[in-house]
Amino acid sequence: MVAKVIDATEMRVGTFILLDGAAHQVKKMDISKTGKHGHAKVRYEATNIVTGKKKVAVIPGHDRFEVPMINKKIAQVLSISGNSASLMDSESFENFDLPIPEGVEGISEGGNVEYWEVEDEKLIRKGV
């Protein structure tokens, strides 16, 4: 689900945008000024929030991007098996398994984690 649509010149560092159907976070961006006969150009670097792959592009400033709806939720860790955690949502009591991303610490059985729902995908962001 898309929250809103923004122009490329409205992007800021930390903004989440949809590129090729996947959510990315803008890490760097530069806006060139308009010329006598030209338009502003935006150069951005964005990383995929699921895979961590970086994407770099230069686009016209009037191009538009969709901003994804991000639902931040809390879940209890029921069990940990290797790189996967079995979780139970604190509000709906739904049970599901998610992979534990590298670099996320503070996840233990019986503890809580913050997870995000982005474009029908769930991912663990941090231990609470």
Instruction: Report the percentage of the chain scoring pLDDT > 90.
Output: 56
Phi, psi of 63 (to 5 degrees): -65, 150
Residue 1: pLDDT over 80: no
Closest CA to 69 of 17, 124, 21: 17
pLDDT tens digits, 77-121: 999 988 899 999 999 999 999 998 888 888 888 899 999 998 888
- For 70-127, CATH number? 2.40.50.140
> Which pLDDT does position 15 carry in this prediction?
92
User: Which residue spans within 82-127 are E strands per DSSP?
Assistant: 84-89, 95-99, 112-118, 121-127
Arithmetic mean of pLDDT, 60-74: 91
Yes or no: say if 34 and 40 are a contact pair by the CB < 8 Å rule: yes
Rounded to whole angstroms, the Cα distance separating 28 from 25 reads 9
Q: In what order do the strands lie in the sheet with 16-19?
A: 16-19, 22-31, 41-48, 54-60
0.85 exceeded by pTM: no
The domain locations on the chain are: 2-68, 70-127
Dihedral of CA 112/70/59/7: which sign?
Answer: negative
Domain range 2-68, its CATH number among 2.40.30.10, 3.30.70.2740, 3.40.640.10, 2.30.30.30: 2.30.30.30
